[in-house]
Amino acid sequence: MNHNEFMKSMSGLTVVYIEDDINIRKYICEFLNRYCKNVYEASSAEEGLELYEEHKPQILLVDINLPRMSGMELVNLIRQKDRKTRVIISTAYTNKEFTLEAIELYITRYLVKPITSMDLVNALKKAVNELEESFSESLNIDLGEEFYFDIRKKVLMKNSDEVVLRKKEKQILEFFIKKDEKIISYEALQNEIWEDEVMTENSIRSQIRNIRQKTHSKIFSNISGVGYKLYRSDD
């Protein structure tokens, strides 16, 4: 990634920076504002947590040694529900225990003070790369048994091979993906896929059966008397 690409990628991101030393915080914030439109600063972990919850940043830059709640305690709290936000931590000294904990908490980069502009840019570039990789992966919907739906190409794949679907089969699969984890009723399928055409529940079941035969039996769960639910890897 060249510098122009980096600046373009950073411009639309939100960063929350947490540092209790006002002089360091002012310097780093001035630097961050050259790249990002949305930079929010906090002097404590508690204040930083409020900013995180309000602004949902893509990047969190946090000092370890904060009053009351430490930076690592804050990151640990956030990681209980969020592994997507990229975290860069800073500290005035190196510590093997912190380094090991940083690995477990999916930390992007561990910076030792004084932080140079080059150190920070390299850390931000790594964070941007990780965000882009995560976004790319999110465009492939896992359907189980090595099947996935490629959102960009709008095709069903097994590993690297395309699975050919008929028009109605593809429309049904895309409809379930669009509705995410919701249970889809027979009536909803009728209204969305067939619109003014009259389709019986048996006809809908036939289409579902066809998709199962081309993929696997668990791609749809039957919800008795209601409809179907699409496979999810965490079910």
Average pLDDT of the chain, as a whole number: 89
Q: What is the mean pLDDT of residues 105-117?
A: 91
Higher-pLDDT residue of 116 and 234 is 116
Can you tell me the distance from the alpha carbon of 175 to that of 191, in angstroms, rounded to the nearest whole number? 11
AA letter at 116:
T
CB-based burial, 7-36: b 16+ in 10 Å, e otherwise: eebbeebbbbbbbbeeebbeebbebbeebb
Can you tell me the distance from the alpha carbon of 48 to that of 177, in angstroms, rounded to the nearest whole number? 35
Q: What is the dihedral of CA 234, 141, 13, 62, to 10 degrees?
A: 30
Contact by Cβ (8 Å): 111, 123 = yes
| pLDDT for 159 beyond 70 | yes
Q: What is the mean pLDDT of residues 226-232?
A: 88
| pLDDT for 175 beyond 70 | yes
Domains present along the chain, CATH in parentheses: 3-138 (3.40.50.2300), 140-230 (1.10.10.10)
| pLDDT for 68 beyond 70 | yes
pLDDT given at position 73? 94
| pLDDT for 213 beyond 90 | yes
| pLDDT for 157 beyond 70 | yes
| pLDDT for 201 beyond 80 | yes
